[in-house]
Structure 1
Amino acid sequence: MVAETMKRTRRGATVAVGEAEPKGWLGLAFILPSLLFIALLFLLPLFMAVWMSLHNWPLLGRVRFVGLANYAELLKDFQFWRSLGFTALYTAIVTSAIMAVAMPLALLVDRPLRAAGLFRTIFFLPVVIGFGAASTLWMWLLNPDNGVFAELLRGIGLIDAAPRPLESFWPALGVVVAMVVWKTAGFTMVILLTGLQAIPNDVVEAAKIDGASPLARFRRITLPLMRNSILLALVLNVTSSMLAFDQFFIITQGGPSNMTISAVFSIYLASFSSYRLGYGAAMSFVLLVVLVAISSIQLGFMGKRPEDG
């Protein structure tokens, strides 16, 4: 026999509450594996990174506690702050470029075309290629001696000497941005396409009946109703761009003159070239704080209703 405790509510009704308590433990049991998973894969590594950042932690040798010395040194590290500034510049450029390419692609494949499915596959196909493989492919294409682009330009007589875009800052950055847009725009297209297909048809038809032009419908209906999809795409692209490493490590190798060293590239150099794991951990923690701040602002916009301004 199940014992029940009768409890009188504020309005005078009597309810049984004896069976409610086990449900709370049952819910905790269901989420416990997820909590353990998060603790093992996120919280524990985060704690270890913070702990390492407080030590002089060479790859080989004695570990010494140094307190905030790594962070004090980091404040005066010109190369790290330059790499962080470059990463912010790269993030702004590549995110804008991806959104500018992905939105027209999403609008194109959302149309009732016979080959819409084929176009979606073609546009999405580069996404399945890893950044390392994609960067290596573009390095081969841009090789000034025997690359496809150089041979093509020489073959049609446009140039005598092959261009070397990786020897100057802006051309090198342009090559990396072009590669990343080619590789990732298809994924952003899918996110935006999901938002497009969630727009009610009757709203669009009503706007057509009212005589709204395609541009007016896009500005006043499509964009506002795609708000969450656009913000989600921005969050994902900004986060991945701030963590960029492979494309700069493989394509530009930090050049010219260390001007294309990203923040993660700088952490790699400190940790695995200078073998200062504690200092690299301090740099990682600062980058994490920057990412959390940026993501919090973006997620705040996602939680804000359009009518709130």
Structure 2
Amino acid sequence: MTSQPQIHNGVPIPRRNQRQRRKQLAGLLFVSPALILVLTFFVIPLGMAFWMSLHNWPLLGKPRFIWFNNYTRLAQDGQFWASMRFTVYYTLVVTVAIFAVAFPLALFAEKSRKLTKIYRTAFFLPVVVGFGSASLLWAWLLDVDSGLFSPAAQSLGFTAKRVNLLADFDTTFWSIIIMVVWKTAGFNMIILLTGLQGISTEVQEAARMDGASAWQRFRRVTLPLMRRTIALALILSVSGSMLAFDQFYIIADGGPQNSTVTAVYWIFSQSFVSFHLGYGSALSMVLLVILVFISVLQLRLLRNPEGM
């Protein structure tokens, strides 16, 4: 007994269209959990944050709708733009430093040798430590009295007396850079290692037989074939650096003299210290737009063969 075709508005639906609709429905059912999560934890909070940014939203009391006054105030907020300049500077420095360490580690760990798995595990181990815990650890190591670095430098004769590494911007900044590189280089190493392992050995052998040197193979073969992997690592590194907060809050507390206040630190200060929740939301929206712009720019540059 043959099944009868389904009828829609008096017109029979072809069996091919029926199968296509079933596949579409099945696909929608499979992606619906992810859609619900994105809607619940991203789209709705994002809409609420934008709505809050249009209000004078105190911690206690009734919010007052003020249109785009928070954004007008933001444009004249010198501290916010100073924090943005510092954040961009920090992002550029730390991204270069991370790749300068992660790429050689990936090249070293990619080759099969004795204890390779131990090397990879040792390089990746700091990644499993949370940023808050790592910052607390380094805050203790950098402490002038009870820490390790300053007393050790004095004991070894590098300094005549104990030096407070957090009293000066340069030493504070570079101490935090070293901590972040120690913490995150292993993660970027794994991403780059995946890209290296995805390059066919036949391609490398062909380039070697054609007389290409190691540097020429790296520049002409390895880097172009790793373009997408590098793009992923760059976007993750830049986005994470632009959202830096824990290390500057825990280790330096924005000091010395507010010289290490990042954009997220300023948003936190306005939202949860001064309780200007509406203004903090406006700051967050502007930072989001900047992050999206930077990520899109990176993708366009790295997709274009002439962009590197």
TM-score greater than 0.5 by the shorter chain: yes
The aligned residue for residue 306 of structure 1 is 305
1:59-70 map, 5 Å: 59-70=59-70
The aligned residue for residue 33 of structure 1 is 33
The 1:72–1:307 alpha-carbon spacing in structure 2 relative to 1, beyond 3 Å, is closer
| TM score, norm. by length of structure 2 | 0.93
Aligned equivalents of 1:49 and 1:16: distance in 2? 45
The aligned residue for residue 10 of structure 1 is none
> Are residue 3 (structure 1) and residue 10 (structure 2) matched?
no
> Are residue 230 (structure 1) and residue 230 (structure 2) matched?
yes
Q: Is the 8 A contact 1:56 1:278 kept in 2?
A: yes
Q: Is the 8 A contact 1:267 1:283 kept in 2?
A: yes
SS of 2:162's equivalent in the other structure is: coil
Q: Is the 8 A contact 2:103 2:189 kept in 1?
A: yes
Shift of 1:224: 1.0
The aligned residue for residue 125 of structure 1 is 125
Q: Is the 8 A contact 1:4 1:17 kept in 2?
A: no
The aligned residue for residue 98 of structure 1 is 98
How many pairs were matched up?
Answer: 300
Shift of 1:4: 4.3
The aligned residue for residue 281 of structure 1 is 281
Shift of 1:99: 0.5
Aligned equivalents of 1:272 and 1:51: distance in 2? 18
The answer to which of 96-105 and 156-165 deviates more is: 156-165
The aligned residue for residue 50 of structure 1 is 50
Letter in 2 for 1:43: V
Q: Is the 8 A contact 1:103 1:192 kept in 2?
A: yes
List alignment gaps of at least 5 residues for structure 2. Answer: 7-13
Aligned equivalents of 1:218 and 1:234: distance in 2? 19
The aligned residue for residue 9 of structure 1 is none
List alignment gaps of at least 5 residues for structure 1. Answer: 6-13
Identity across the alignment (%): 51
Q: Is the 8 A contact 2:5 2:15 kept in 1?
A: no
> What is the alpha-carbon root mean square deviation over aligned residues?
1.8
> Are residue 86 (structure 1) and residue 86 (structure 2) matched?
yes
Q: Is the 8 A contact 1:199 1:225 kept in 2?
A: yes
Shift of 1:17: 3.4
Shift of 1:36: 1.3
The 1:21–1:158 alpha-carbon spacing in structure 2 relative to 1, beyond 3 Å, is closer
SS of 1:58's equivalent in the other structure is: coil
Q: Is the 8 A contact 2:142 2:166 kept in 1?
A: no
Aligned equivalents of 1:154 and 1:173: distance in 2? 21
CA deviation map 1:254-308 (0-9, x unaligned)? 1111111000000000011101101100000000000111111223345x36389
Q: Is the 8 A contact 1:4 1:16 kept in 2?
A: no
Aligned equivalents of 1:171 and 1:154: distance in 2? 16
Shift of 1:134: 0.7
SS of 1:3's equivalent in the other structure is: coil
| TM score, norm. by length of structure 1 | 0.92
CA deviation map 1:34-70 (0-9, x unaligned)? 2111100100000110011111111112211111111
Q: Is the 8 A contact 1:50 1:282 kept in 2?
A: yes
Shift of 1:29: 2.2
Shift of 1:85: 0.9
Aligned equivalents of 1:264 and 1:171: distance in 2? 22
Letter in 1 for 2:113: L
1:241-260 map, 5 Å: 241-260=241-260
1:207-218 map, 5 Å: 207-218=207-218
The aligned residue for residue 134 of structure 1 is 134
Shift of 1:102: 0.3
Aligned equivalents of 2:18 and 2:58: distance in 1? 58
SS of 1:147's equivalent in the other structure is: coil
The 1:29–1:139 alpha-carbon spacing in structure 2 relative to 1, beyond 3 Å, is same
Aligned equivalents of 2:306 and 2:243: distance in 1? 33
Q: Is the 8 A contact 2:235 2:298 kept in 1?
A: yes
Aligned equivalents of 1:179 and 1:245: distance in 2? 13
> Are residue 198 (structure 1) and residue 208 (structure 2) matched?
no
